Amino acid sequence: MKTYTLYLREELAHGWQDKAIFTWLQTMPGEIFRDKEGRRTLRFEVNQKSYFLKYHQGVGWAEIVKNLLSLRLPIISARNEWQAVQFLQSHDLDTMTLAGYGEKGWNPAKRHSFVITDDLTDTMSLEYLGQQWRDRPPSFTSKYQLIQKLAHIAGTMHKNGMNHRDFYLCHFLLDKSFAETNIYQPTMPIYLIDLHRAQIRQKLPRRWQIKDLGSLYFSAYAVPLTQRDLFRFIKTYTQLPLREALTQKADLWQQVKQRADTLYAE
């Protein structure tokens, strides 16, 4: 059975109407960030507008088997990414904007697929919060509101059945003006990116919830957080009174801490 999916936003569809899209994207020139293991990631421009392309060329059966033997789910298509973008958007969470996606072929080892998103320009990664906040502590309000926002993103995502699998601060982007002002307001978007490993189910299994939260907590170890900061995250994430969140889900938070400590020790 042959599978074929193709979507291009109007400006790309018009500019590439004379091209065999999969063949064109497979070798299209641009600023390359990755080109190995069947995946090609690059930035390119069309009419002075910047985009990101992730092209999957099929990883082969050897790579699929190697991942399965290592108890890892192989990434065989860009479909994960575009469906995760659509999922986040449907739940009013900020993420990348789709400009195109496609997939062809029934054989998982040879399947070709791609996703194109608008380039998120003038943004910074939250990975730099540790150094920034050690040098310049934020106001209580900015810190509180940023923690609330991250907890809302994580809670909404998990409650509705999606896990990220690379849920670190480096995969959250916000306007780079934050690096200068150190002021965060609730109206400022925080974009969740790098969704190629995301999974979506009716209900999120506990182990994937722990892995996501443990990864996020580990990546925040360098950020000067207090116990009250952690409690604020927990309260917003669970949407429960703090006492209930800590007592009813005590084992969850203990396992999250263990996961974070394990990552730190590696």
Say what percent of the chain tops pLDDT 70: 92
Q: If you ran DSSP here, which 8-state letter would residue 48 be given?
A: T
- Please give the pLDDT value at position 109: 75
Residues in the chain: 266
Q: 166 an active-site residue?
A: yes
Q: Over range 66-84, report the average pLDDT.
A: 76
- Per the residue annotation, which of 118, 166, 175, 229 is the catalytic one? 166
Please tell me the CATH code under which domain 4-118 is placed: 3.30.200
Q: What is the pLDDT of residues 127-151, one digit of tens each?
A: 999 989 999 999 999 999 999 999 9
- Please give the pLDDT value at position 204: 97
3-state secondary structure of 99: strand
**Spatial separation of the C-alpha atoms in residues 147 and 180, rounded to whole Å:** 19
Domain borders along the chain are 4-118, 123-265
The partner residues of 150 in beta bridges, in order of sequence, read: none
pTM of the model: 0.92
Closest Cα partner for 39 from 21, 22, 60, 59?
A: 59
CATH domain 123-265 topology = Transferase(Phosphotransferase); domain 1 (1.10.510)
Please, what's the largest Cα pairwise distance for the chain?
Answer: 62
* Burial status of residue 219 (CB atoms within 10 A of its CB: 0-12, 13-18, 19 or more): buried
Average pLDDT, the chain: 92
Q: What is the pLDDT of residues 188-227, one digit of tens each?
A: 999 999 999 999 999 999 999 999 999 999 999 999 999 9
| Tokens read off for 152 | 């809302």
**Spatial separation of the C-alpha atoms in residues 38 and 55, rounded to whole Å:** 8
Residue 1's pLDDT band, with cuts at 50, 70 and 90, is very low
DSSP string, 135-177: HSPPPHHHHHHHHHHHHHHHHHHHHTTEE-SS--GGGEEEETT
> 232-258: buried (b, 16+ CB within 10 Å) or exposed (e) per residue?
bbbbbbbeeeeeebbeebeebbebbbe
CA distances to 43, 128, 143, 201, 224 from 137, rounded to whole Å, are: 34, 13, 9, 39, 9
User: How many C-beta atoms surround the C-beta of residue 195 within 10 A?
Assistant: 25
The partner residues of 32 in beta bridges, in order of sequence, read: 42
**Spatial separation of the C-alpha atoms in residues 251 and 255, rounded to whole Å:** 6
